[in-house]
Structure 1
Amino acid sequence: MSVLLSAQDLQLAFGGVKAADGINLDVMEREFLAIIGPNGAGKTTFINMSTGHLRPQAGSITYQGRQVLGMKPRAIVRMGIARSFQLPQLFTEHTVLENAAMAVAAREGTFSAFRPLLRPAFRAEAEELLERFGLTAAAHQRADALNEGTRKLTDIAMAVAMKPRLLLMDEPTSGVAAADKMAVVETLARVLREAGVTAVFVEHDMDVVARIADRVAVWGQGRIVALGPPEQVLADPTVQRDVIGIQTGEVPHAAA
């Protein structure tokens, strides 16, 4: 596999707090990379730097060999990098189908309040996208009436409508009911892998990480303190103690 995104020696501090303290990370094409770590470790900061929402004070980020630092978020999206947020960014007064169609229109650069939203071409692509995500039954529901799992899938479907090669997700299962979580995860993993999309995702649920990640990067105080396959990283005693919260002698839930 080739390197798709490369971060080199990223440095960023907010006052005396180092959100990035020498981050070096290569994201490989078509992999699913999970980022885990305690709150405040700098996980979301990395996603924000990679998508143009924050600029590091030093270091570089390249995508397919091209420097992305200093570029606007919209320009980065056009390069093939998309993201989803911890809180779904939906047009709540519109239906799921309308949200998907707006994402398609935005990708084509034709979104306007003065143009018909559900053009046949936009509608057809939006309906196909919703079918891939198992959202056809919810197509005509308003976004503000959805449960959290459906909201998350709709949000990620809108990101996929941009046809990215790389998708960065900030806690894709946050707020999703425990009974729905694995179904949501398996759906998004299936769709992204079928589309050949590389995924980097921040996650706190170790069962989710163990289920779909190819590699796991552990953040701690702005640094990567462990990196490797999930079976290796999640079994590390230090990771179990400091990140997962398992004390010596306990059986890791993720490995159950």
Structure 2
Amino acid sequence: MSLLDVTELRKTFGGFHAVDGVSFAVEEGSIHAVIGPNGAGKTTMFNLISGHSHPSAGAIRFAGDDVTQSSPDAMVRRGLTRAFQVTTIFPKLTVLESVECAISARRHQSASLWLWNRPTARAEALQLLETVGLAELADVQAATMSHGDQRTLEVTLALATQPKLLLLDEPTAGMSPFETKKMVELVRDLTRSRGLTVLFCEHDIGTVFTISDKVTVLHRGQIIADGAPDAVRTDQRVIDVYLGRRNS
């Protein structure tokens, strides 16, 4: 069953069609990748899906509801949360405090209520940190962490909103091979252990074809392939406009 349905989605800026008639579905419990050359429309499409921008035409349905004109905070309340390409954390807080804040925000608690309810938020935060492998860094200031651990913390902050669908924008960007492997394992484990659905865009083709259940390829705002990783990998048009160029 599909959790997200995108139908004939379009976004124009003047005469430029950044997203041009895109239709695809993300199945519940799956890991779905979106790939394509720079300027293909990936970020614009993610902005539309997450409510950070509204389409010029087309429709977006999430969990059966029309969310085409929803705001980002409304999408989060519905269960769709996005982690951005540029790492967004609370640099002056510890790892544990950062997650506690995210949990309190989800509960709509003020600063005074946060202090009153901090023990329950802390218990949930510690459990999340254990899940993502950051428990040993709970008391470390977020700004002093490695890039890979900061990216993992950002995913943890997204998880604190209890999403059904997690959007990841270039989750392995700037990571070492070791950090990339850890992120791939984390995303795979989250879909299995928490029943999470993941939609992500990524330039690391090795990661895409290792972890994805389905791959959608964008080029100049349009879908040129959409299917199983093996089928997409051998699609001649995908090779011509994207994979071949990257390997040359």
User: TM-score, normalized by length of structure 2?
Assistant: 0.95
Partner of 1:15: 14
Question: Is 1:82 aligned to residue 81 of structure 2?
Answer: yes
1:23 is displaced (CA, Å) by: 0.6
User: Which stretch of the first structure deviates more once superposed, 62-71 or 89-98?
Assistant: 62-71
Partner of 1:112: 111
Partner of 1:33: 32
Q: Could you tell me which runs of 5 or more consecutive residues in structure 2 were left unpaired when the two chains were aligned.
A: none
Partner of 2:126: 127
RMSD: 1.8
Q: Is 1:153–1:188's contact at 8 Å kept on the other side of the alignment? A: no
Cα distance in structure 2, aligned partners of 1:114 and 1:104? 12
Q: Is 1:170–1:202's contact at 8 Å kept on the other side of the alignment? A: yes
Q: Is 1:167–1:199's contact at 8 Å kept on the other side of the alignment? A: yes
Change (3 A) 1:245 1:138: farther
Question: Is 1:42 aligned to residue 37 of structure 2?
Answer: no
Cα distance in structure 2, aligned partners of 1:191 and 1:114? 30
Partner of 1:219: 218
Cα distance in structure 2, aligned partners of 1:150 and 1:200? 21
1:73 is displaced (CA, Å) by: 0.9
1:219 is displaced (CA, Å) by: 0.4
Q: Is 2:31–2:191's contact at 8 Å kept on the other side of the alignment? A: no
Amino acid at match of 1:173: T
1:114 is displaced (CA, Å) by: 7.6
Amino acid at match of 1:201: F
The 5-angstrom pairing of residues 60-99 of structure 1 reads: 60-99=59-98
Partner of 1:144: 143
User: Which stretch of the first structure deviates more once superposed, 160-169 or 230-239?
Assistant: 230-239
The superposition leaves residues 221-248 of structure 1 with CA deviations (integer Å, 9 ceiling, x where unpaired) of 111110111111112233223212358x
Question: Is 1:237 aligned to residue 236 of structure 2?
Answer: yes
SS of structure 2 residue aligned to 1:154: helix
SS of structure 2 residue aligned to 1:190: helix
The superposition leaves residues 11-69 of structure 1 with CA deviations (integer Å, 9 ceiling, x where unpaired) of 11122321110011111111110000011111111111011100001111011221112
Cα distance in structure 2, aligned partners of 1:92 and 1:6? 35
The 5-angstrom pairing of residues 160-239 of structure 1 reads: 160-239=159-238
1:81 is displaced (CA, Å) by: 0.6
Report runs of 4+ in structure 1 exceeding 3 Å deviation.
none
1:87 is displaced (CA, Å) by: 1.1
The superposition leaves residues 56-103 of structure 1 with CA deviations (integer Å, 9 ceiling, x where unpaired) of 011110112211122221111111111100012101111111111111
1:176 is displaced (CA, Å) by: 1.1
Change (3 A) 1:117 1:192: farther
Amino acid at match of 1:34: A
Q: Is 1:96–1:139's contact at 8 Å kept on the other side of the alignment? A: yes
Cα distance in structure 1, aligned partners of 2:131 and 2:192? 12
Q: Which has the higher helix share?
A: 2
Q: Is 2:30–2:197's contact at 8 Å kept on the other side of the alignment? A: yes
The share of aligned pairs that are identical, in percent, is 38
Change (3 A) 1:117 1:89: farther
Partner of 1:101: 100
Cα distance in structure 2, aligned partners of 1:226 and 1:96? 40
1:211 is displaced (CA, Å) by: 1.1
